[in-house]
Structures are given as C-alpha cells and as structure tokens.
C-alpha cells in the first residue's frame, strides 16, 4: 500500500457532494483534482493540501501542518498535514475546504503553446 487507503475512503466520502472532483493516482499516492487543478492528495499517511498563496504562512502555523517537501525542496502553496491533524471528519473537512477554495479561486492554468 503506497498510500493510506482508509484515508482515501474518508476523503472520497466527504467529497462526494462536490461535482467535478476527479481522483488521480500520482506521486506514489492519490490526488484529488477540481477544475483540472490538484487540490488535495495523500502521500503515504499524510494529507497534502494546496492553498491560496496569501493563506500559506498562516496555515503553516496550524498544529500538525508543515511545508510539503516531496522533492527535497519546500513547495510554497503545498502543505502536509499529519494524521494527528485529521483524526476526525470535521478536522479533515476543514483541510479539504482549503484545497477546494484553492481549486475554485486560483487563476486558470496557462495553456501551453504548440510547437
């Protein structure tokens, strides 16, 4: 098991009321996409959440949150939340809402120009 499947089930259940969310296997885990933007995911037992740039520093100060450093370098706008910070569905939902906000409010991706 490369990611926490029980956590994936919890997330899927909490997100089922939202239309347009797509689950995608990536980075050895699973990601949840909305509007073609990764909003949250699972890496091993940790929740990964994308957030609005203006909220990043404040969210980093929350208990159980830390910088995402998947590649060995911190990635601004990406957070890891440890299992202790998502024990209840209420805690998990609060973090998922942050990812949903990111996907809904962030500007559209720039289209790549063809060769």
Q: Which of 22, 29, 23, 41 is nearest to 1 (CA)?
A: 29
What percent of the chain is helix, strand and coil (3-state, nearest 5)?
35, 30, 35
Residue 111: alpha-carbon gap to chain centroid: 23
pLDDT of residue 112: 67
Q: Which two tokens stand for residue 84?
A: 């202790």
pLDDT of residue 114: 60
- Residue by residue, pLDDT tens for the chain (115 residues) are 488 999 999 999 999 999 999 999 887 789 999 999 999 999 888 999 999 999 999 999 999 999 998 677 788 899 999 999 999 999 999 999 999 999 999 887 776 666 5
Q: Is the pTM of this model over 0.95?
A: no
The CATH number of 5-105 is 3.30.1460.30
pLDDT of residue 113: 66
Q: Which of 101, 90, 95 is nearest to 79 (CA)?
A: 95
Ranges assigned E (strand) in 35-110: 37-43, 46-50, 65-68, 75-81
pLDDT of residue 85: 96
């Amino acid at each position: 098991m490369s990611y926490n499947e029980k956590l994936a089930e919890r997330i899927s259940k909490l997100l089922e009321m939202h239309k347009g969310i797509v689950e995608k296997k990536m980075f050895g885990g699973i990601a949840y996409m909305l509007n073609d933007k990764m909003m949250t995911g699972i890496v091993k037992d940790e929740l990964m959440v994308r957030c609005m740039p203006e909220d990043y520093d404040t969210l980093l100060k929350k208990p159980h949150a830390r910088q995402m450093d998947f590649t060995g370098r911190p990635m601004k706008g990406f957070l890891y939340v440890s299992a202790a910070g998502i024990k209840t569905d209420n805690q998990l939902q609060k973090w998922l809402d942050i990812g949903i906000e990111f996907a809904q409010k962030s500007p559209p991706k720039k289209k790549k120009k063809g060769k």
